[in-house]
Amino acid sequence: DQQVKQNSPSLSVQEGRISILNCDYTNSMFDYFLWYKKYPAEGPTFLISISSIKDKNEDGRFTVFLNKSAKHLSLHIVPSQPGDSAVYFCAASENDYKLSFGAGTTVTVRA
């Protein structure tokens, strides 16, 4: 049973606009959340994270929002750029050692 769910398999957005990726989780013991980015033929790479004691973390064009009561987090990319076209994985952990991943969302940024 998947504890981390990304219900949108794909997202298409115009260059310069905002991309919003969503993630839901079921395990209330998760205390750390991460987003990974994956290009074809490469492994996932860390993008941004957030602790459960926060509700927002920002790093440049990337912002992650956490709503613990709804067990929901989202990743905002603004403005979206062609290089952002990739698969994005949401992940969560109860500690730093074991991550549970979602199925991924493929983002396509149109010129």
Q: Which residues fall within 8 angstroms of residue 111, CB to CB, at 6 or more apart?
A: 15, 82
CB-CB contact of 8 with 103 (8 Å):
no
Among 64, 89, 107, 109, binds other proteins (CB under 8 A): 89
What would the two tokens of residue 62 be? Answer: 């990337």
User: Which CB, 43 or 83, lies closer to other proteins?
Assistant: 43
CB of 41 to other proteins, least distance (A): 7
Ramachandran region, residue 71 (left: φ > 0; alpha: ψ -120 to 50; beta: rest): left
User: Which CB, 17 or 46, lies closer to other proteins?
Assistant: 46
6 belongs to the binding site for other proteins (CB under 8 A): yes
| Omega before 44 within 30 of 0, i.e. cis | no
User: Which CB, 17 or 54, lies closer to other proteins?
Assistant: 54
49 belongs to the binding site for other proteins (CB under 8 A): yes
Contact set with other proteins (CB under 8 A): 2, 6, 32, 34, 36, 41-46, 49, 51, 89, 91, 93, 96-104
